[in-house]
Amino acid sequence: MELFPIVLLALFAVVLFVLPARQRKRMQAQAQALQESLTIGTPVMTTSGIHATVASLDEKTVDLELAPGVVVTFARPAIMEVRSPAVLTEDDGTGIDGPGNGAAGGRPADGTL
């Protein structure tokens, strides 16, 4: 019974210090692997939700192409994830709310059908 408080404190130390440190180390390893996997032409998403393609890489920065001819520079840690390239689908020819007709969601930008 005399050792119970000491064992309890040791258990709390493990829970409060060791486990979060292991998780933080794992997250750092994942971030490092993501940075090493970046190559020119890779589609990525930034921490602010911007989808772009890697145009060039420097040691601390990355140039992202948002649209043809539109290139912005981000800090490398701002890259949150590598995205898979979008798969283009063929228009079914119906002309009604298909993926290739108008704005996102298949509707024209002015809201008319």
Q: How far apart are CA 45 and CA 67, in angstroms?
A: 14
pLDDT band at 43, cuts 50/70/90?
very high
Q: How far apart are CA 95 and CA 113, in angstroms?
A: 11
pLDDT in tens, 50-100: 999 999 999 999 999 999 999 999 999 999 989 886 666 665 555 554 454
Note the pLDDT of residue 48: 93
DSSP label at residue 41: T
pLDDT in tens, 9-26: 888 888 888 788 888 999
CATH architecture group of domain 38-85: Roll (2.30)
Note the pLDDT of residue 61: 93
Q: Return the domain boundaries, the chain.
A: 1-36, 38-85
